[in-house]
């Protein structure tokens, strides 16, 4: 079906991280807008954030970083922020036919993100500085490792570190709280897939669901053994095509994948199994996961205070 080596990546977005140590599912606006509601988060039990809530926190992060950099004597531009639709892509298998019809596999969204990266005004500003000023700018933004580092050992092995100081660190503390606790909880809770996915992908229930999905795809004119095979061949399918033709090709295949995922319940099966396997395999990390959820909800409430009533489709003023 697919190799365990890549399975961790494939399953990252299949289900919410709340499968262990939680009691409440992520909430979505009944009208379907998925708008953030920090008031509901305050005092609520641990849960995942909606995509819209993650976007709001990201906006607050860059606004606070801008404020900090201004105090340090540097301009900082808000730049392009991710949209809810951009956060919905990815995962093991597409199950949202509407998203697939709009975006295919997200090729146009990827191009948009790359254009934003290449045209980032902050990078352009830093690159135009002298070497000494560029170092000063970098240390103001990201901190100086010589002034101390936070360090966490990952559950699957290895160690990650980040500077204790800098505007990004200050922003994190203002939103999430204690830096050391947040860094440990975040890095632990978001790096657990290698501990259970190798067993999950061998589960007969998933194997049967993938085979049913593959038969459905074949009947629709697309011969693929698994969603992973599509991911591996996706770019080759559109190589050399005009942008319009490439997008149309993506959309046709993505809609078929999502439709078959719904018809055969592959998406539901994968989500159910991931919840089951996380529950069995990750009990020892339940406290870290709960802390991660709780601190993100704290950040959500604080982010709404930072962003205020600013419309989602407008950008805060630059420096």
Q: What is the DSSP string of 143-201?
A: --GGG-EEEEE-TTS-EEEEES-SHHHHHHHHHHS-HHHHHHHHHHHTS-GGGTHHHHT
Which percentage of the chain shows pLDDT scores above 70? 83
Q: 94: closest CA among 205, 222, 231, 190?
A: 231
Distance CA 248, CA 229 (A): 19
Q: 5: closest CA among 188, 197, 147, 167?
A: 197
More reliable by pLDDT, 67 or 14 = 67
**What is the rounded average pLDDT of the residues 184-197?**
96
Distance CA 213, CA 223 (A): 11
Phi, psi of 151 (to 5 degrees): -140, 140
Q: What is the pLDDT of residues 192-219, one digit of tens each?
A: 999 999 999 999 999 999 999 999 999 9
Q: 211: closest CA among 227, 195, 198?
A: 227
> What is the pLDDT confidence band of residue 227, given thresholds at 50, 70 and 90?
very high
Length of the chain: 319
pLDDT of residue 308: 84
pLDDT of residue 80: 86
More reliable by pLDDT, 85 or 13 = 85
Backbone angle region of 166, left / alpha / beta, with phi > 0 → left and psi within -120 to 50 → alpha: left
pLDDT of residue 300: 97
Distance CA 91, CA 6 (A): 12
Phi, psi of 294 (to 5 degrees): -60, -40
Which percentage of the chain shows pLDDT scores above 90? 77
DSSP 160: E
Phi, psi of 317 (to 5 degrees): -60, 150
pLDDT of residue 3: 37
pLDDT of residue 305: 95
pLDDT of residue 57: 97
pLDDT of residue 44: 53
Mean pLDDT of the chain: 85
Beta-bridge partner residues of 161:
151
Q: What is the pLDDT of residues 277-314, one digit of tens each?
A: 999 999 999 999 999 999 999 999 999 999 984 444 43
> What is the pLDDT confidence band of residue 55, given thresholds at 50, 70 and 90?
very high
Q: Please name the helix (run of DSSP H) or strand (run of DSSP E) that holds residue 162, with its range, or none.
A: strand 159-163
pLDDT of residue 89: 75
pLDDT of residue 10: 44
Distance CA 95, CA 109 (A): 18
Sign of the torsion formed by the C-alpha atoms of 200, 269, 96 and 189:
negative
Among 5-14, 36-45, 91-100, name the most confident range: 91-100
Q: 295: closest CA among 198, 177, 174?
A: 177
For the chain, the distance separating the N- and C-terminal CA atoms, rounded to the nearest angstrom, is: 51
């Amino acid at each position: 079906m697919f190799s365990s080596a890549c399975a961790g990546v494939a399953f990252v977005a299949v289900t919410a991280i709340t499968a262990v140590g939680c009691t409440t599912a992520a909430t979505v606006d009944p009208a379907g807008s998925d708008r953030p509601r920090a008031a509901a988060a305050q005092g609520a039990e641990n849960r995942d954030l909606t995509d819209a809530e993650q976007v709001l926190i990201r906006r607050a992060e860059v606004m606070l970083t801008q404020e900090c950099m201004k105090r340090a004597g540097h301009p900082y531009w808000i730049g392009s922020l991710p949209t809810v639709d951009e956060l919905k892509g990815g995962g093991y298998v597409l199950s949202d036919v509407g998203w697939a019809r709009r975006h295919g596999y997200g090729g146009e969204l990827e191009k948009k993100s790359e254009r934003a990266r290449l045209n980032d005004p902050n990078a352009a500003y830093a690159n135009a500085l002298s070497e000494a000023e560029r170092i000063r700018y970098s240390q103001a933004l990201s901190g100086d490792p010589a002034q101390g580092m936070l360090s966490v050992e990952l559950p699957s092995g290895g160690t990650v570190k980040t500077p204790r100081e800098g505007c990004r660190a200050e922003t994190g503390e203002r939103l999430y709280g204690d830096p050391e606790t947040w860094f440990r909880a975040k890095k632990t809770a978001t790096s657990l897939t290698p501990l259970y996915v190798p067993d999950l992908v061998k589960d007969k229930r998933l194997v049967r669901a993938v085979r049913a999905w593959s038969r459905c795809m074949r009947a629709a004119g697309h011969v693929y053994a698994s969603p992973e095979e599509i991911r591996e061949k996706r770019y080759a399918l559109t190589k050399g095509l005009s942008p319009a033709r490439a997008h149309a090709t993506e959309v046709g295949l993505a809609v078929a994948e999502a439709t078959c995922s719904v018809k055969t319940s592959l998406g539901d099966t994968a989500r159910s199994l991931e919840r089951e396997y996380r529950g069995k395999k990750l009990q020892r990390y339940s406290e870290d996961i709960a802390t991660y959820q709780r601190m993100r909800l704290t950040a959500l409430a604080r982010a709404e205070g930072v962003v205020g009533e600013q419309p989602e489709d407008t950008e805060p003023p630059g420096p």
